[in-house]
């Protein structure tokens, strides 16, 4: 066993761990990074990157549908699923060097490719190396949660870790789970020509604005996805080389669905097993590793960030937390992770973007005290760029308090995720709606929807009788 002493030891080379290791090494800290699997973690290999690459192919596959209103007719394209799969792998390969062992060693990081586990409060063992560090960062991520459904262990189901290798062969898919992953994969595969059935025990996209989610629901239905909402999977069984899934609806009726493949996408399970957390005095539960607002575990020497904490499971959260850990561990600055201005996007068509509170959450919070929120909703159809591009499906909804502080924004429609950027700035800097209402934006852009929504907040005040009297009074004085 070789002994190694370092400033910082990072366990896990996914979005969270890579960001900490790169930042710390570039600031001159001696950094060790331990990874048991492939560099890049879920995001690069089994998550964000392959899913967005697949969706891009899927949206291209139906682009001809949107052409006819422009007077352009195009035949339905031929879809070469093997080529689509190669495109997905090609995008991963293109990004992989950025996350590679070679790049990190070039930055001065010592990379150890082995499984890490704590053996006491300040020692980690990985392969043949025993590591002592001033600070540790647990960034071990999550895996697909597999629900306790009778017979599921007897059928060969897919998860996000296996589906991207099977794209070429999937003709007929049951998707279990109607969250962002299930919705994105269902739409992608349906647009690429597969028969898709989606089962969700509640409503699609339950964390999102219900009205916005209903536009995504309509799009999935138009893509041919058979939706089974309020339907609980109770049993799975093999049927030759196919899969059968029993689903009970709200009325208690059971229906058996059959498909060539089954994708399980019902949520994430933080990795807490096999890490020696008990030996290190790190408190955890099946919901994740416990952390305080400063991202420290119950062992003050150890931070935990990213999916393994059971918090919001997004790459941008992992990145933001990594930045905070660097400030805290290397500069000893006080840090606090907040979710007040947390954005997230479901990359379906229409895209659904959210930051902060939804209308329903803001109304619920108001019931607990504070005034009712102001809700402003502008349809895409009232925007000239959206009209010119025949992209009139969608809306922006801004939720604010009576003084113009932004509580949350929902955007559903073309480029919704891109349109969220100024709202991320405004909410993180606690700007009021006046900051957006006063912008000069290029015409015609979809972004004008944001400016218009912000401006509408002030319209009743601006055109009030009191202001009209003031204008008349000033004119009278010449």
Ligand X SMILES: Cc1cc2nc3c(=O)[nH]c(=O)nc-3n(C[C@H](O)[C@H](O)[C@H](O)COP(=O)(O)OP(=O)(O)OC[C@H]3O[C@@H](n4cnc5c(N)ncnc54)[C@H](O)[C@@H]3O)c2cc1C
Q: Of the candidates 6, 8, 10, 15, which one interacts with ligand X according to CB under 6 A?
A: 15
- Residue 36 interacting with ligand X (CB under 6 A): yes
Tokens of 59: 């949206």
Kindly report the number of other CB atoms within 10 A of residue 77's CB atom: 12
Report, in Å, the least distance between residue 140 CB and ligand X.
Answer: 4
The number of residues in the chain equals 478
Cα(131)–Cα(113) distance, integer angstroms:
13
Report, in Å, the least distance between residue 276 CB and ligand X.
Answer: 9
Report, in Å, the least distance between residue 89 CB and ligand X.
Answer: 15
Report, in Å, the least distance between residue 348 CB and ligand X.
Answer: 11
- Residue 323 interacting with ligand X (CB under 6 A): no
* CB of 175 or CB of 308, closer to ligand X: 308
Q: Of the candidates 57, 92, 139, 396, which one interacts with ligand X according to CB under 6 A?
A: 139
Q: Of the candidates 20, 22, 33, 43, which one interacts with ligand X according to CB under 6 A?
A: 43
Cα(116)–Cα(10) distance, integer angstroms:
10
- Residue 42 interacting with ligand X (CB under 6 A): yes
- Residues 162 and 173 sit within 8 Å (Cβ to Cβ): no
Q: Of the candidates 275, 342, 353, 454, which one interacts with ligand X according to CB under 6 A?
A: 275
List CB contacts of 467: < 8 A, sequence separation 6 or more.
461
Candidates 33-41, 375-383, 396-404, 428-436: pick the segment binding ligand X (CB under 6 A).
33-41
Q: Of the candidates 6, 9, 21, 51, which one interacts with ligand X according to CB under 6 A?
A: 51
- Residue 12 interacting with ligand X (CB under 6 A): yes
- Residue 48 interacting with ligand X (CB under 6 A): yes
* Per-residue x/- track, 398-427, ligand X (CB under 6 A): ------------------------------
Q: Of the candidates 33, 131, 140, 215, which one interacts with ligand X according to CB under 6 A?
A: 140
| Residue 35: C-alpha distances to residues 39, 40, 138 (Å) | 7, 9, 11
- Residue 34 interacting with ligand X (CB under 6 A): yes
- Residue 455 interacting with ligand X (CB under 6 A): no
Q: Of the candidates 160, 299, 354, 358, which one interacts with ligand X according to CB under 6 A?
A: 160
Q: Of the candidates 53, 111, 183, 318, which one interacts with ligand X according to CB under 6 A?
A: 318
Candidates 44-52, 327-335, 407-415, 458-466: pick the segment binding ligand X (CB under 6 A).
44-52
Report, in Å, the least distance between residue 44 CB and ligand X.
Answer: 8
Q: Of the candidates 141, 182, 193, 350, which one interacts with ligand X according to CB under 6 A?
A: 141
Residue owning tokens 């991520």: 141
Binding site for ligand X (CB under 6 A): 11-17, 34-37, 41-43, 46-48, 51, 115-116, 139-142, 160, 181, 271, 275, 306-308, 313-316, 318
């Amino acid at each position: 066993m070789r002994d190694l002493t370092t400033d910082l030891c990072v366990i896990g080379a996914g979005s969270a761990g890579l960001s900490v290791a790169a930042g710390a090494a570039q600031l001159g800290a001696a950094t060790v990074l331990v990874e048991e699997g492939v560099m890049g973690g879920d995001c690069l290999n089994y998550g964000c990157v392959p899913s967005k690459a697949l969706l891009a192919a899927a949206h291209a596959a139906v682009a001809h549908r949107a052409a006819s209103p422009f007077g352009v007719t195009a035949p339905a394209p031929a879809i070469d699923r093997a080529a689509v799969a190669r495109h997905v792998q090609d995008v991963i390969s293109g990004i992989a060097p950025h996350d590679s062992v070679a790049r990190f060693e070039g930055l001065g990081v010592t990379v150890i490719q082995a499984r890490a586990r704590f053996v006491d409060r300040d020692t980690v063992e990985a392969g043949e190396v025993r590591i002592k560090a001033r600070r540790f960062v647990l960034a071990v991520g999550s895996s697909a949660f597999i629900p306790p459904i009778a017979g599921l262990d007897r059928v060969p189901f897919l998860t996000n870790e296996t589906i991207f290798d099977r794209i070429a062969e999937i003709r007929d898919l049951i998707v279990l789970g109607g969250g962002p992953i299930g919705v994105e994969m269902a739409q992608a595969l349906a647009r690429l020509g597969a028969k898709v059935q989606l089962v969700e025990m509640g409503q699609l996209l339950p964390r999102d604005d219900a009205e916005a989610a209903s536009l995504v629901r309509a799009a999935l239905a138009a893509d041919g996805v058979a939706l089974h909402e309020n339907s609980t999977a109770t049993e799975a069984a093999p049927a030759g080389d196919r899969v059968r899934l029993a689903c009970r609806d709200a009325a208690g009726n059971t229906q058996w669905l059959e498909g060539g493949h089954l994708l399980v996408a019902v949520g994430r399970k933080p990795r807490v097993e096999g890490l020696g957390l008990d030996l290190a005095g790190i408190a955890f539960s099946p919901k994740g590793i416990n952390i305080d607002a400063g991202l420290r575990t119950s062992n003050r020497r150890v931070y935990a960030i990213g999916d393994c904490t059971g918090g919001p499971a997004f790459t941008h959260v992992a990145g933001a937390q990594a930045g905070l850990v660097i400030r805290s561990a290397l500069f000893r600055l006080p840090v606090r992770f907040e979710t007040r201005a947390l954005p997230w996007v479901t990359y379906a068509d229409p895209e659904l973007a959210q930051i902060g509170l939804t209308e329903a959450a803001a109304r619920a919070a108001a019931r607990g005290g504070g005034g009712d929120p102001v809700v402003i909703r502008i349809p895409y159809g009232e925007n000239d760029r959206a009209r010119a591009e025949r992209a009139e499906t969608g809306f922006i909804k801004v939720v604010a308090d009576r003084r113009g502080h932004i509580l949350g924004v929902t955007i559903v429609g073309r480029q919704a995720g891109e349109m969220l950027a100024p709202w991320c700035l405004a909410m993180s800097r606690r700007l009021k709606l006046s900051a957006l209402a006063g912008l000069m934006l290029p015409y015609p852009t979809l972004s004008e929807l944001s400016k218009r929504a912000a401006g509408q907040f002030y319209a009743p005040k601006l055109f009030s009788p009191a202001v009209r009297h003031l204008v008349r009074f000033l004119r009278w004085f010449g």
